[in-house]
Amino acid sequence: MSLSGNRTQYVAVAALIVSMIIWSVSGIAIKHALAVLPPFTMIVLRFVPSVLLMLIIGLICRKSPLFGLQKIDRKDWPLFLIAGFCQPFLYYLLETFTYDALHSPTIAETLLSTSPLLSPIFAAVLLRERVTRNNIIGIILSTAGVFALSLIGSKDYSIGNYWGILLAFAAVSAAVIDSIMMRKVPAKYTSLTFIFYAQCVSLLFFIPLWLWREGNIVFSLQLSEISSQLSSISSPLSIALLCVAYLTVFASVIAFILFCFALRKVGVTQANAFNNIRPAFTALWMFLFFGEHLPLGKWIGMALIIFGLFVCQRKTD
């Protein structure tokens, strides 16, 4: 796809950038939420309201080409079931085990950011999607930028359990397969329809796990204890719930819908290449709002990511 293309292509690129900006804050929000909430509780609190919100939007905007909610034909259900199982469900589980198995969070984050490297392989094999020379060069450049951004200045490079590496690539593979399902779903379905049903499917797996692992913790809490913590907007629980609200509305609804819309316009390889700018935006937010130091090497890494994206989107002559 050329950036000098038609209006739809411009809109798709803009949608990808906005979705990546939203998701770049998600890691910060998740970190603050998990400081108070158990992981499965946080996930359920995030996705149950997002499904309800999409249901309301879909029923109100029934005739919208982007936000309408449609009934799924029986023959198309396997695509939605695979998508919902792969992401959020499988990806979140594998991501959690990856962080647990690897000593270094930096190494884990770097490995979990490699979806653009796997996307061309999956897209070429499963979708017969054409992968150009510029796609490959751009992805390599931007991925090199991600490694520079993640590893420069880090002190802990120990790997830990080598199963963590396999888990990280399994997580990335699940995310890429989810992207392929987005692409394979017939164009008659709106982006909201795809995201709504995929998240409904994921909740069918998440809720039993939540009840098994954390249900006794949550149900043992006293309402008076929760009320006292919510009495102050600056209390840890209030901040955690505000972070969950951000994840619900922006990360789980708006960003997913925008990404789904754009991916169905530009393809799996080019859409997933934009995942490389997420660590760059995260580093920028940490620099601007939390005073985190960014050495020259990290700025070079961000420049490589952006340059690689431009190369990836450029048509081969």
Closest CA to 199 of 173, 170, 176, 178: 178
Check residue 81 and give its pLDDT.
95
**Long-range CB contacts (< 8 A, 24+ apart) of 212-218?**
213/38, 213/40, 214/38, 214/39, 214/40, 214/41, 217/38, 217/41, 218/38, 218/41
The answer to whether the peptide bond before residue 88 is cis (omega within 30 degrees of 0) is yes
How sure is the predictor about 103, in pLDDT bands with cuts at 50, 70 and 90? Answer: low
In angstroms, the CA 10 to CA 80 distance is 28
| Structure tokens, 38 | 């158990």
In the numeric block, the tokens 């789980």 are attached to 252
Amino acid at site 153: G
Residues 6+ apart with CB under 8 A from 11: 265
Please enumerate in sequence order all residues whose Cβ is within 8 A of that of 100, keeping only pairs 6 or more positions apart, or say none.
164
* Euclidean distance between CA atoms 15 and 9, whole angstroms: 10
- CA Rg value for the chain: 20
Give me the mean pLDDT over the 223-246 stretch.
Answer: 78
Angstrom distances, CA of residue 162 to CA of 39, 98, 169, 200: 23, 10, 12, 33
Q: Is 120 helix (H, G, I), strand (E, B) or coil?
A: helix
**pLDDT, tens digit, 9 for 90 and up, residues 206-234:** 999 999 988 787 777 656 566 666 666 77
Residues 6+ apart with CB under 8 A from 266: 1, 9, 12, 13, 16
pLDDT band for 3, please (50, 70, 90 cuts): very low
CA distance 114 to 174: 12
Average pLDDT over residues 147-156: 68
3-state secondary structure of 3: coil
pLDDT the model gives residue 237: 83
Q: Residue range 128-152: average pLDDT?
A: 79
Q: Over the stretch 40-52, which tens digit does the pLDDT of each residue have?
A: 888 899 999 999 9
How is the chain split into domains, by residue range?
A: 7-313
pTM, to two decimals = 0.84
Residue 185: both structure tokens together: 């779903």
Q: Does 315 have pLDDT greater than 80?
A: no
The tokens 């754009």 sit on which residue? 262
